[in-house]
Amino acid sequence: MSKELFEKFNSGCLRLPNGEIDFSKINWNKHPTFEGVELKHIITAKDTGGDFSYHLVRIAPNKSIKNHIHETQHETHEVIAGYGECVNNGKSLGYEPGVISIMPAKVPHEVNAGPEGLYLFAKFFPALC
């Protein structure tokens, strides 16, 4: 059921007073560093004056976003589908649908998908890209 929910986001939309962004028209992009990770950039710095960005993230089964930090961005994850873990500032946090996690700027973190893969809604403040 939860993968079906992710597909609703994948083909959903962002509704704003001045228009709508159709997610189905946004391409998936391979992560430039981490194998098996793809991003769909929903709203980016150019849309928000650099204040924030929103991204759908899909991590292939048993793949990872390896340990890293964001010097200036606070990051949040909302788990939509799949299972895995986030190592946030050295603590292992179980990831399952309905979990939200926060990574302040300069805090090391990684995300590891389980055998079904992992599907997240990630937000960055200020914008990642």
Query: For residue 9, what is the domain's CATH number?
Result: 2.60.120.10
101 and 95 Cβ atoms separated by less than 8 Å = yes
* Segments forming the whole domain that contains residue 93: 2-13+22-125
Largest alpha-carbon pair distance within the chain?
42
pLDDT tens string 4-59: 888 898 999 999 999 999 999 999 999 999 999 999 999 999 999 999 999 999 99
Write down the pLDDT at residue 17. 94
- Amino acid code (one letter) for 64: S
Confidence of residue 89 (pLDDT cuts 50, 70, 90): very high
Give the mean model confidence (pLDDT) for residues 102-128: 97
The mean pLDDT value of the chain amounts to 95
122 and 40 Cβ atoms separated by less than 8 Å = no
| Centroid of chain to Cα 32 | 14
pLDDT tens string 62-79: 999 999 999 999 999 999
- Burial zone of 92 (CB within 10 Å; 0-12 exposed, 13-18 middle, 19+ buried): exposed
Count of domains observed in the chain: 1
> Three-class SS of residue 71?
coil
Q: Please report which helix (H) or strand (E) contains residue 2, including its range.
A: helix 2-10
The model carries a pTM of 0.93
